[in-house]
C-alpha cells in the first residue's frame, strides 16, 4: 500500500481565502488599529467592547468549546474579558530558550551542532505547558499568528525526517503543535487562517496514526503513543469543526471541510465507541447538507458500511478508485488485514 499512497496532499490550502480576509480579521481580533499587533504596546486588549453584536455572538460560540476541547488542565482563565496579544517574534520565547539551555532540556532537533547545551532561535520551539494561566503570562511569552504559522510550517517539514525513528519525530511535533494550539487558545484567535493551521495539525495526527502502527520497538510503549495520538486527533478534529462553524458566513462550506469531516467517519473503522460523545447518526444529523452530499462524505459512509457488512470486494474497489491522500492513511491498515 505504501507505493500507492500519494506523496502530495490532494486537498487545497485555505491560505488564499485567508489572505483576502486578513484585514477584516485583524480589525475583528485586534481592534481597529492593527499596529497593536506589532507588539509595541504589549498590553491586554479590550477591543471586544467595540465589536458588533454578531461578532460577539460568534466569539462566544467559539470561546467555551475550544477552551474545553484543548483540555481543562492545559489552559486556565484563557477566555477572560481581557485577551492577551502575543509579541514573541521567535518560535520559542528567549526566556524559555535560555532556561532550557541551562537545564539541558533540548530535543535532538533543537540542538546547535548536536550540543545539548546550545540552541538558537531558528531551532528551539516552545514547549507545551500543561497548566498555565493568562494571569501568569506576559505578551512576550506568546507568539502572534504569523509566528505560529511559520512555526507550524517548520514542524511539518520535520515530519519526513529520516534521521531519527518516527516515534522520536512524532514526540517532538506532538508536543510542539500542542503548544501552538495553546498559544492560539490563550490569545483567542479563531480566524480562517487558524482553520488552515488546524487542518495541517489534523493531517499530522492522521499520518502518525498510520506510521505509528508500523514502528518497531516496545509494543506497550508504541501502543500508548498511538492511543495518545488518536486522543489528540479527536480533539483537533472537534476544534477544527467548531472553527468551521464559527467562520461560516453563509450556507457554503469551507474548501477542505468535506474531506476533514470524512476523517471522523473513517476513524470508526476500528472503533464503535462514541469518539465525540454522541452516536454517529446523531453527528450526521448536525452536518450541513452540502457536506452530507459531498463525494468525500459519500465515500467515507460507503467504506464504513461495506467494512462493517464484511463486503470486502466493494470495500477494496471503492477505496482503489476514490480514496484521497488523507483518507488513504486511515484506511490502509484495514486493507493489510
Domain annotation covers residue 108 = no
Q: Residue 124 and residue 107: Cα distance in Å, rounded? A: 8
Residue of higher predicted confidence among 311 and 67: 311
Tens digit of each residue's pLDDT (9 = 90 or more) over 64-112: 335 544 543 344 444 444 678 999 999 999 999 999 999 999 999 999 9
Range of the domain at 327: 251-337
- Split at pLDDT 50, 70, 90, the class of 48 is very low
Residue of higher predicted confidence among 147 and 37: 147
Tens digit of each residue's pLDDT (9 = 90 or more) over 159-197: 999 999 999 999 999 999 999 999 999 999 999 999 999
Domain annotation covers residue 120 = no
Answer yes or no: is pLDDT of 285 > 60.
Answer: yes
Measured torsion, CA atoms of residues 304, 309, 313, 319, in degrees rounded to the nearest 10: 0
- Split at pLDDT 50, 70, 90, the class of 118 is very high
State whether 310 and 336 are in the same domain.
yes
Tens digit of each residue's pLDDT (9 = 90 or more) over 122-135: 999 999 998 776 67
Relative orientation angle of helices 192-211 and 257-266, to the nearest 10 degrees: 30
Residue of higher predicted confidence among 39 and 306: 306
Instruction: Name the one residue in this structure whose C-alpha cell is 483567542.
Output: 188
Predicted local distance difference test score (pLDDT) of residue 82:
61
- Split at pLDDT 50, 70, 90, the class of 2 is very low
Predicted local distance difference test score (pLDDT) of residue 300:
97
Predicted local distance difference test score (pLDDT) of residue 277:
80
Domain boundary among 199, 228, 249: 249
Predicted local distance difference test score (pLDDT) of residue 16:
39
Q: Residue 227 and residue 52: Cα distance in Å, rounded? A: 42
- Split at pLDDT 50, 70, 90, the class of 272 is low
Q: Residue 83 and residue 324: Cα distance in Å, rounded? A: 39
Average pLDDT, the chain: 80
Predicted local distance difference test score (pLDDT) of residue 252:
85
Predicted local distance difference test score (pLDDT) of residue 44:
38
State whether 225 and 273 are in the same domain.
no
Reported pTM: 0.78
Q: How far is CA 336 from the centre of its chain?
A: 28
Domain boundary among 210, 227, 249: 249
Predicted local distance difference test score (pLDDT) of residue 49:
29
Domain annotation covers residue 106 = no
Predicted local distance difference test score (pLDDT) of residue 71:
46
Radius of gyration over alpha carbons of the chain, in Å? Answer: 21
Number of domains in the chain: 2
Work out the average pLDDT over 40-51: 35
Domain annotation covers residue 193 = yes
State whether 142 and 229 are in the same domain.
yes
Amino acid at each position: 500500500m505504501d507505493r500507492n499512497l500519494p506523496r502530495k496532499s490532494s486537498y487545497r490550502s485555505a491560505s488564499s481565502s485567508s489572505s483576502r480576509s486578513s484585514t477584516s480579521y485583524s480589525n475583528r481580533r485586534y481592534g481597529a488599529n492593527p499596529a497593536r499587533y506589532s507588539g509595541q504596546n504589549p498590553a491586554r486588549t479590550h477591543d471586544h467592547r467595540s465589536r458588533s453584536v454578531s461578532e460577539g455572538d460568534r466569539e462566544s460560540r467559539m470561546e467555551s468549546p475550544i477552551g474545553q476541547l484543548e483540555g481543562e488542565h492545559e489552559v486556565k482563565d484563557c477566555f477572560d474579558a481581557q485577551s492577551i496579544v502575543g509579541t514573541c517574534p521567535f518560535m520559542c520565547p528567549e526566556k524559555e530558550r535560555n532556561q532550557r539551555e541551562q537545564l539541558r532540556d533540548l530535543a535532538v532537533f533543537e540542538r546547535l551542532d548536536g550540543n545539548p547545551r546550545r540552541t538558537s532561535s531558528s531551532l528551539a520551539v516552545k514547549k507545551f505547558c500543561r497548566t498555565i494561566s493568562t494571569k501568569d503570562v506576559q505578551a512576550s511569552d506568546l507568539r502572534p499568528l504569523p509566528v505560529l504559522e511559520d512555526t507550524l510550517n517548520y514542524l511539518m517539514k520535520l515530519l519526513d525526517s529520516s534521521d531519527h525513528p518516527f516515534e522520536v519525530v512524532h514526540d517532538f511535533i506532538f508536543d510542539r503543535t500542542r503548544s501552538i494550539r495553546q498559544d492560539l487558545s490563550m490569545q483567542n484567535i479563531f480566524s480562517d487562517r487558524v482553520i488552515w493551521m488546524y487542518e495541517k495539525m489534523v493531517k499530522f495526527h492522521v499520518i502518525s496514526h498510520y506510521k505509528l502502527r508500523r514502528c518497531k520497538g516496545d509494543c506497550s510503549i508504541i501502543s500508548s503513543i498511538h492511543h495518545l495520538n488518536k486522543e489528540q486527533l479527536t480533539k483537533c478534529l472537534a476544534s477544527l469543526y467548531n472553527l468551521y462553524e464559527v467562520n461560516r458566513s453563509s450556507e457554503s462550506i469551507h474548501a477542505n471541510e468535506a474531506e476533514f469531516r470524512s476523517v471522523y467517519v473513517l476513524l470508526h473503522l476500528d472503533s464503535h465507541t462514541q469518539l465525540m460523545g454522541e452516536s454517529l447518526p446523531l453527528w450526521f444529523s448536525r452536518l450541513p447538507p452540502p457536506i452530507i452530499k459531498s463525494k468525500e462524505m459519500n465515500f467515507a459512509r460507503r467504506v464504513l458500511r461495506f467494512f462493517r457488512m464484511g463486503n470486502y470486494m466493494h470495500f477494496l474497489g471503492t477505496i482503489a478508485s476514490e480514496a484521497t491522500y488523507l483518507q488513504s492513511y486511515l484506511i490502509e491498515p484495514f486493507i493489510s488485514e
